Amino acid sequence: MISIQHNVSLKEYNTFGIDAKAKYFISVSNKQELIEALKLPQFSEYFVLGGGSNMLITKDIDIPVLHIDFKGKVIGPTNLQGEIIVSIQAGENWHEFVLWCIENDYGGVENLSLIPGNVGTSPIQNIGAYGVELKDVFVDCRAIDIETQEEKIFSLEDCNFGYRNSIFKNEAKGKYIITSVAFQLTSKSHKLNTSYGAIQQELANNNITEPTIEDVSNAVIAIRQRKLPDPMEIGNSGSFFKNPVIPKAEFALLQEKFPNAPHYVVSDTEIKVPAGWLIEQCGFKGKRFGDAGVHKNQALVLVNYGNAKGEEILALAKKIQETVLEKFNIAIEAEVNVIG
């Protein structure tokens, strides 16, 4: 049986720590409860809440907030190559899932350590860090169609994953609720990805020459803890903006003025420029405006020092976008979902 709570503060349910209110709040922990909630005759629209780690709430929410709290893990058979499929319920915390993989010696997600949020929302933006993206280990996910309440399975191909992008941010946006995700992991002969300079450096500093998945996870945790604020201490949503991808010719012009501009080659014609660098060049790094601010160690991360309102963070984000556009003629887009 589901219950509808009224006027619930969402402060504990979003990693930015924004104190917005949900007029109606319904927590569901299995498929039956979810379907029951979707069939409530008084409501026609829902706000789906997972780990609340990739959203900025700028006002109270009047439509019912559906908190997806499905828990559980199913471990599939292992094949001869030592690959194993695990199916994880949407409400499991992402980092706890990663730690569980390390404990059980399942490889594949160690580079994605310490990413805030839940398993169920990980496919939406194809979470990624240190050379690995969710799509590299993704098998499929199950989702409920909000309108028909029927279950649909999305394969890797169906999801159309891109850089911080998927079908769930495009054609399927707002239409489905992901209930579980299946991953293909290695149970032996792990394929480590230590190509990222910061990981190599971290392993070398610890004199690790033959790293295990646990070593890689620990390296990522150490790097992230140095650069990124812990949402339990300072509200944030990780990278607030996406790194812009610009035509090579435009980058050449930028490089004339800023010969040391960091960049990654995306294709023959496109270059990705770290938004954190652009924002830092505009002088925002470490700046604080009331309780809203730009993190001191990573300018891509906006923070809530305590009681910032969603609108204040949004105003800061807009100011940053305008300044970057003015100085570099580059438009940077928000990565987090702005609600309101």
CB 98 within 8 A of CB 86: no
**The binder of ligand EPU chosen from 276, 302, 313, 320 (CB under 6 A):** 276
User: Using an 8 Å Cβ cutoff, are 278 and 328 in contact?
Assistant: yes
Whole-angstrom distance, CA of residue 91 vs CA of residue 71? 5
Pick from 108, 231, 238, 310 the residue near ligand EPU by CB under 6 A: 238
Question: Could you tell me the end-to-end alpha-carbon distance of the chain, in angstroms, rounded to an integer?
Answer: 30
Does residue 113 interact with ligand EPU by CB under 6 A? no
Q: Does 48 contact ligand EPU by CB under 6 A?
A: no
User: For 329, left (φ over 0), alpha (ψ -120 to 50), or beta?
Assistant: left
Place of tokens 């922990």: 29
What single-letter DSSP state applies at residue 162?
Answer: B
Segment contacting ligand EPU by CB under 6 A, of 84-92, 94-102, 172-180, 272-280: 272-280
Q: What is the smallest separation between the CB atom of 8 and ligand EPU, expressed in angstroms?
A: 26
Residues in the interface with ligand EPU (CB under 6 A) total 18
Does 244 bind ligand EPU (CB under 6 A)? Our answer is: no
**298 touches ligand EPU by CB under 6 A:** yes
Calculate the dihedral angle through the C-alpha atoms of 196, 202, 204, 210, rounding to the nearest 10 degrees.
-70
Q: List the one residue from 67, 95, 142, 285 that touches ligand EPU (CB under 6 A).
A: 285
Query: Is the backbone of residue 308 left (phi > 0), alpha (psi -120 to 50) or beta?
Result: beta
Which residue among 262, 283, 306, 340 contacts ligand EPU (CB under 6 A)?
262
Q: Is 239 a catalytic residue?
A: yes
Site string for ligand EPU, 321-340 (x = CB under 6 A): --------------x-----
* Under rule CB under 6 A, residue 274 binds ligand EPU: yes
The helix/strand count (H/E) of the chain reads as: 8, 20
Catalytic residue among 53, 164, 180, 224: 164
User: Could you give the CA distance from residue 142 to residue 165 in angstroms, rounded to a whole number?
Assistant: 18
Q: Which is nearer to ligand EPU, 188 or 226 (CB)?
A: 226
Question: Is residue 300 at the binding interface for ligand EPU, with CB under 6 A as the rule?
Answer: yes
Instruction: Classify residue 170 by its DSSP letter.
Output: T
| 242 counts as binding ligand EPU under rule CB under 6 A | yes
Residues 6+ apart with CB under 8 A from 6: 23, 24, 25
Applying CB under 6 A, does 229 fall inside the site for ligand EPU? no
Q: Which one of 53, 87, 113, 239 is the catalytic residue?
A: 239
Q: Does 320 bind ligand EPU (CB under 6 A)?
A: no
Binding mask 116-135 toward ligand EPU (x if CB under 6 A, else -) reads -------------xx-----
Site string for ligand EPU, 161-180 (x = CB under 6 A): --------------------
Q: Which residue, 298 or 321, is less far from ligand EPU as judged by CB?
A: 298
171 annotated active-site: no
Burial class (CB in 10 A: 0-12, 13-18, 19+), 226: exposed
Q: Which stretch binds ligand EPU (CB under 6 A): 137-145, 209-217, 296-304, 306-314?
A: 296-304
Alpha-helical runs (H) found in 120-170 = 156-159
> Is 164 known to be catalytic?
yes
Which H, E and C letters describe 242-270, residue by residue? CCCEEEHHHHHHHHHHCCCCCCEECCCCE
Q: Which spans of this chain sit near ligand EPU (rule: CB under 6 A)?
A: 129-130, 227-228, 238-239, 242-243, 262, 274, 276-277, 280, 285, 298-300, 335
User: Where in the sequence numbering do the catalytic residues fall?
Assistant: 164, 239, 335
